[in-house]
Every structure is written in C-alpha cells, then in structure tokens.
Amino acid sequence: MPRLLILCATQFEMALFLDRHPELVKEKTPSQLTLYSGVLGQTVVDCVISGPGVFNTVHALTVYLTRKRPSRILHTGIAGVFAPSGFGIGDIGIAGREQYVHTGVGCGTPEYAPLPFDLICDQPSTRRGIYPADATLLESYCGLFSRKVGGGAIALGNFITVSSITPSFAQAQKVYDHFSPVMEAMEGAAAFHVAALYRVPVIEIRAASNLVGERDKDKWDFPLACERVCQICRMVLAHPI
C-alpha cells in the first residue's frame, strides 16, 4: 500500500479532517511528537503535527522519516495570501517552489545575495533558500485541483517561508515587489529541505485564512480556511499519484 504523510503545524488546522476520520489513531513519539496513523481506503495515512515554525518542522519531519518512508508528503495548513497576487481568503494555493527568505548574504536590500555554498549538495538554488516543488506531483495536483475544486480559486505560484510574520500592508507590498509570492507561512521551506535530504517527494497545498499584513484577526477567516484544509487532504487522499 502507498503511504501518505500529511504534515501540518497545528492540531487546530487539522481538526476537521481528524474529526471526520476517527479511524486515525493518535500516538506520541518519545520526543512528544503527535502522530495519527491508520488506513483510509487503499492508502496508509500518517498525519504529523509538527508545531509552528521552521525548527519544529525540521525536528518533526526528521523524527518521522527516520522511522517511516512515505511515498509522498502533503504539507498543508492555513496561510496568509498576498493581496497583490489577485487571490484572496478561502482560495487554495499550490507552491511551485518554496523560499526561506532569510537565507543568503545581507547586502542592504530586502532580498539577500546567494550564499557562497550549497545548503544541499548539488542544489545551487538552496544558496538563496529556494526549493522547487516535485515536478510530477505539481503537474498532477495542479490538474486535479483545477478540475475538482468548487468555490474559491486555485493559486499556483511561489510561496515564501518567514520566521517573523509580515506586520503591515505596506511591508507586504515591499515583500511582494521583491519575491512575487502567492502565500506566506512559517514552515514550508523547512519541510522541503528535509524532504530533499531524504529524497521523498513533497507537495505544499495551503488554504488562505487572511491577507498578509492584516493584523486585525477579526478579519481572518479560520473556519473557512480549516474547511479548505480538510478538503485539500481528502482530495489528495482520494487521488493517489
């Protein structure tokens, strides 16, 4: 049977999917990592709750991959969407690539110069913290989501990973001017980095809960975004690649 790993930062984001699939059994690893496992249809499914941020993501995925080897990884959750991209709250984003924007050599501009060494051997794009999506998964899931999703738009484009949330619309515009991202979150590049080291294909598909730079959480739509996350997981599960 193929094995799918669903990787997500928080229990909150996965709550609807987990509630609808009680056959996934919860366990704790020795390092207190939360893992749900079971068989759904013809697929062995593991769901790892990593905790937010790059460090928790690296730890969680490394611990998991030392024990099990999935056929593919779905990295999902909610995210901020950049208004200049033309997409909005409730839309689903698929990462064509991830970039950890804090990687590089500071040179007085928002975008750093490349490091003088590869972060992953023979992958020079990692000098700028850039990780391309798996081409096969990207083609397959872009086609699937464009055909099957009802309501909301499908946003294919660059994602960025940050360690500090963009604080204002003015700053969001500056970030967009330099990186042209669709979505911003705090874990994606970390997952791509570890997956590349273990040579496991990964696809990142997220749901927009807010506009990047909007700090009034009354204007965020968590229920809609979490419903979309559940939809993402169920679609990927129903259409193994």
DSSP secondary structure string for all residues of 194-215: HHHHHT--EEEEEEEEEETT--
Instruction: Give the burial string for 204-215 (b: 16+ CB within 10 Å, else e).
Output: bbbbbbbbbbbe
- pLDDT at position 150 is 65
Tell me, what CATH number does 179's domain have?
Answer: 3.40.50.1580
Q: What domain count does the chain have?
A: 1
Residue with tokens 């705090």: 186
Which carries the bigger pLDDT value, residue 152 or residue 123?
A: 123
**How far is it, in rounded angstroms, from Cα 79 to Cα 110?**
21
Per-residue pLDDT band for 123 (boundaries 50, 70, 90) equals very high
What global pTM score does this model have? 0.95
- Residue 161 near residue 100, CB atoms below 8 Å: yes
Domain that holds residue 84: 3-238
**How far is it, in rounded angstroms, from Cα 50 to Cα 103?**
22
Per-residue pLDDT band for 146 (boundaries 50, 70, 90) equals confident
Residue 133 — φ and ψ, nearest 5°? -70, 155
If phi > 0 it is left, if psi is from -120 to 50 it is alpha, else beta; for residue 187 that is alpha
